[in-house]
Chains A and B, each alone.
Chain A
Amino acid sequence: MSTNVAPRMIELVHVERSFRRADGTDVKAVNDVSFVIPEGEFVCLVGPSGCGKSTLLQMLAGLLEPSDGDIVVGNKPVTGPGPDRGVVFQKDSVFPWMRVIDNVEYGLKCRGVPAAERREIAWTYLKHVGLSHVERAWPRELSGGMLKRVAIATVFANGGRVLMLDEPFGALDYVTRHQLQDVLLNLWNADGAGTRRTVIFVTHDVDEALSLADRIMVFRSGNKVDDIAVKVSRPRTTDSLLLPEMVEIKRKLLHHLGLDHAAGLDAVADEAVA
């Protein structure tokens, strides 16, 4: 593995974030989280809802300030949102008042990239996600899966070296979700080894994490409770999920999610606890 050679892209040091409830008490959404992610790694953050994984992503994106600790991305401390860190949100964020192609090139336009050049880049990524035939359509004319493709194309076209996706495919149907996972992996791979972007992908779908990630971090009640490397080679198929090492990781994940009984894996759970 090249993870030891790759420069560190993201570094979190004792990051905390608390929220004040309406009744005045403080809740810790993220509690003393530290980790380092090398450049080019595909990391999945997994955990039950309310475990702090989305809060963590918001802080990395610069949309939320940590209560304590430091976040450094590409050797620069995060002080606010920026085009170096692209975000695909769970909710639809494609601007309804811009045509598809204008959406994809919007970030480039903001930074003053000449019209012809940015159109070329936008067109390339639109083609990559399979939407070149609707470049002039209005977003309201597209399906939910197509809107997600537009958002992914927009973020890739914008050129950020770090991509963050917050449960991007959670609201989609089974088939669409799998198609979009492929779209995402293909785009990520297209850059080629050594120049791949760093991806942080928040999900609560264990199988999704297993088929996408180089590394899975598990969160529970604001704490990072596990950090698992997934060394199974790519491209991964549905059969890859049946490999013994995958099954082993899946057991661990299900245990962290408190699903041992549902899966009938009591024995494994005991072993893991020990």
Chain B
Amino acid sequence: MTTVTATVKAAPRRVRPLRLFAYGLAAALDPLRLAGLVVFALIWEGLSSVLSTIILPPPQNVVARLWTDFLDAPSLSYYGVANPNLYANLLYTAENVVIAVAIGAAIGIVAGLVSARFSLVRAIINPVMMTAGTVPILIAAPFLLIWFGVGRLSAVCLVIFYVTVILYLFAQRAASNVSPIYEEFARTLGASQRQIVVDLLIPATVPEILGGLRIALAGAWGLEAVSELLGSQEGMGKVLEVLAGATDSEGIMASLLLLGLVAIIVDAIAGWAVKRLASWNAGLSSERN
């Protein structure tokens, strides 16, 4: 018996980002998943042939509608939407999500990590965050409308609030989960406090924090759209609101389909980033790499 087992390959095994992305794509195109989608489309098709098109428009009409409305939807200008196409409204929503996730994540992660390390800070922040975490955030939307009006700000604030709470909880848990043995070892090797934060605390918590970011991102999309629905001049939520007012089922489903597609793509990119940034972690990287 030799202690040095042959399972470890000597050569540096750098996984090319493109290859990893291709793996992700292959997983998404899994035959079983495809079969699920086909069955869903068939049932939809079948039901729509029985029901009226106002209740359930057939899938091909929805796809066709998405195709035309994406760049040009004149009916929207008729209802008072500033940009009469899905593309510009999607961009508006996406911008708000990106801004809100960036700000919320920055606040939440820093607060979470600091509170995990300093019990005094934890004693102060924890009750606030825990309470905030239990409140259904959407009921704050009307309140934010009073404060900030129907502009971009009220929706962004709502999403920032949501993302901050989620990432605070994830970052704090991630930091508390890091075994103290690593810090002790680093201190005996001569690491300073700053080096312990940069070289230990941050890399050790990256996988869990990215997992939280992925969840927050998915939630942020929905929350942004809903808060636009409640009061906004632009965005996918506004589009859905005016289409609902016009009982345009086909248009609504086309918009929802677009939101769904974007959410799937964003989640796939986030998942790929998690794998890439935490390749040391067996729990998160795929068995293939």
Known: A61-B188, A97-B280, A176-B3. 13 other contacts (CB 8 A): A63-B187, A85-B188, A86-B189, A87-B185, A96-B281, A97-B278, A107-B191, A110-B186, A110-B190, A133-B8, A134-B4, A141-B8, A145-B3
Contact of B189 among A139, A143, A158 (CB under 8 A): A158
**Most chain B beta-carbon contacts within 10 A, residue among A82, A89, A93:** A93
Q: Are B280 and A83 in contact (CB under 8 A)?
A: no
Residues in B whose Cβ lies below 8 Å from that of A96: 204, 280-281
A1 to B20, CA, bound (A): 62
Q: Are A63 and B3 in contact (CB under 8 A)?
A: no
A-contacting 9-mer, from B76-84, B131-139, B195-203, B218-226: B195-203
Residues in B whose Cβ lies below 8 Å from that of A87: 184-185, 188
B5 within 8 A of A: yes
A115 within 8 A of B: no
Q: Are B184 and A89 in contact (CB under 8 A)?
A: yes
A82 to B184, CA, bound (A): 11
**Nearest chain B residue, comparing its CB with the CB of A99:** B280
> In the complex where A95-B200, A134-B10, A179-B3 touch, is A106 in contact with B188 (Cβ < 8 A)?
no
CB within 8 Å of B: which A49-107 residues: 61-63, 80-83, 85-87, 89, 91-93, 95-99, 106-107
A86 to B187, CA, bound (A): 10
A87 to B181, CA, bound (A): 11
B60 within 8 A of A: no
A93 to B195, CA, bound (A): 16
Residues in A whose Cβ lies below 8 Å from that of B12: 136
Sample 20 A-B pairs with CB under 8 A, ordered by A number. Answer: A61-B188, A63-B188, A82-B188, A83-B189, A86-B189, A87-B185, A91-B179, A93-B181, A95-B203, A96-B204, A97-B206, A98-B203, A106-B189, A107-B189, A133-B4, A138-B280, A140-B280, A143-B3, A155-B189, A175-B3
B1 within 8 A of A: yes
Q: Are B8 and A137 in contact (CB under 8 A)?
A: yes
Count of residues in A whose CB is under 8 Å from the partner chain: 45
A140 to B279, CA, bound (A): 11
Interface residues on B, range: 20 to 34
Residues in B whose Cβ lies below 8 Å from that of A97: 203-204, 206, 278, 280-281
Q: Mostly helix, strand, loop or mixed at chain B's interface?
A: loop
A142 within 8 A of B: yes
A128 to B182, CA, bound (A): 24
- Contact bitstring A112-140, B, C-beta under 8 A = 1, else 0: 00000000000000000011011011111
A111 within 8 A of B: yes
**Nearest chain B residue, comparing its CB with the CB of A183:** B3
Q: Are A110 and B195 in contact (CB under 8 A)?
A: yes
Residues in A whose Cβ lies below 8 Å from that of B52: none
> In the complex where A91-B181, A106-B199, A136-B12 touch, is A86 in contact with B281 (Cβ < 8 A)?
no
Q: Which residues of B contact A (CB under 8 A)?
A: 1, 3-5, 7-13, 179, 181-182, 184-192, 195, 199-200, 203-204, 206, 278-282
Residues in B whose Cβ lies below 8 Å from that of A130: 3-4
Residues in A whose Cβ lies below 8 Å from that of B182: 93, 95
Q: Which residues of A contact B (CB under 8 A)?
A: 61-63, 80-83, 85-87, 89, 91-93, 95-99, 106-107, 110-111, 130-131, 133-134, 136-143, 145-146, 149, 151, 154-155, 158, 175-176, 179
Residues in B whose Cβ lies below 8 Å from that of A145: 3
Q: Are B8 and A134 in contact (CB under 8 A)?
A: yes
Contact of A81 among B187, B195, B203, B280 (CB under 8 A): B187
Residues in B whose Cβ lies below 8 Å from that of A89: 181, 184-185
Instruction: Report the minimal beta-carbon distance from B196 to chain A, rounded to whole angstroms.
Output: 9
Instruction: Report the minimal beta-carbon distance from B258 to chain A, rounded to whole angstroms.
Output: 38
A138 to B279, CA, bound (A): 9
Q: Are B191 and A110 in contact (CB under 8 A)?
A: yes
Residues in A whose Cβ lies below 8 Å from that of B188: 61-63, 81-83, 85-87
A158 to B186, CA, bound (A): 11
Instruction: Report the minimal beta-carbon distance from A36 to chain B, rounded to whole angstroms.
Output: 22
Residues in B whose Cβ lies below 8 Å from that of A92: 181
Residues in A whose Cβ lies below 8 Å from that of B190: 82-83, 107, 110-111, 158
A176 to B4, CA, bound (A): 10
Residues in B whose Cβ lies below 8 Å from that of A137: 8-9
Residues in A whose Cβ lies below 8 Å from that of B191: 106-107, 110
Residues in B whose Cβ lies below 8 Å from that of A111: 190
Q: Are B192 and A110 in contact (CB under 8 A)?
A: yes
Instruction: Report the minimal beta-carbon distance from B9 to chain A, rounded to whole angstroms.
Output: 8
Instruction: Report the minimal beta-carbon distance from A55 to chain B, rounded to whole angstroms.
Output: 14
A176 to B3, CA, bound (A): 7
Contact of B10 among A110, A133, A138 (CB under 8 A): A133
> In the complex where A133-B10, A134-B10, A137-B8 touch, is A93 in contact with B3 (Cβ < 8 A)?
no
Residues in A whose Cβ lies below 8 Å from that of B3: 130, 143, 145-146, 149, 175-176, 179
Residues in A whose Cβ lies below 8 Å from that of B206: 97
Q: Are B4 and A154 in contact (CB under 8 A)?
A: no
